Amino acid sequence: MTNNEENKVNQQSAKEKLMNKSNGQAPQEKKPSGQTIGEIIDKMMPAIKQALPQHIKPERMARIAITVFRNNPRLQACSPVSFLGAVMQSVQLGLEPNTNLGEAYIIPYGTTASYQIGYKGILKLAYNTGQYQAIYAHEVYENDEFHYQLGVNKDIYHVPADVPQGEPIYYYAVYKLKNGGYDFAVWSRTKVMQHAEKFSAAVKGNRDTPWKSDFDSMAKKTVLLQALKYAPKSIEFANAIEQDETVKTDLSAQAKKIIDIPFEGEESEMHGA
């Protein structure tokens, strides 16, 4: 094509765009597959049913996923791969995302949806192993009676005040196994905040995060994970903790076919959301 011919084509294209605009018509663009999130999740129901624990109804999990997506415009801007990957992580772990239960969260980071287990989700997964007689975390206020010691004779003592004063000054987590083993971890509020500022990309970027909306819950989760660091764990529980704060794009072949978009099959971590 000569330069004159190319110029004529470009002029014709520009002219057509102006005519469309004057007629109230937007220039035609390529349309996506046209599937709504509800339609995609409906097609994924066989995979959801197969992955979910028996005590959770797949229809409920599907409704939650659709509601989470529709109620958050920032998640709607995320890639379908990362959002559906986060949904499937919740499905596989049997944790409800973005509900008042505080079990798990699907959090947007630009165009990527990251999955994060909540404090109550960690408790649920721990109890599901059948290994723990007790496991919990607490805040400590300045007018509480509280002390602990490490070393050979580790011990922790806490009597909460009837009316707490101020913000919590410590957070601690304790677990006791059915075989009698136990351990605990104690962090100051300052240490927890330093941890969030160092490891949370959302905190660093001043974005929406459970660290802002539910700081105490995130603090208790953080100190609980510290207590569990060297605790005996089932393979399933250990794998679940490793999935925390990750982005999953390695969906099943069935799911990839359903949403009909390119997939990379990779996984990347988003630490400390």
- What is the tens place of the pLDDT at every residue in 89-131? 999 899 999 998 989 999 888 888 988 899 999 999 999 999 9
Spatial CA neighbour of 35 closest among 69, 86, 73, 71: 69
Spatial CA neighbour of 107 closest among 202, 223, 30, 248: 202
Is the pTM for the entire model greater than 0.75? no
Residue 246: its pLDDT value, please? 59
Spatial CA neighbour of 135 closest among 40, 46, 232, 47: 232
Q: Is the dihedral of CA 51, 55, 56, 59 positive or negative?
A: positive
- What is the tens place of the pLDDT at every residue in 129-187? 999 999 999 999 999 999 999 999 999 999 999 999 999 999 999 999 999 999 999 99
Question: First vs last Cα of the chain: how many Å apart?
Answer: 54
The residues spanned by each domain of the chain are 1-28, 31-118+245-273, 130-232
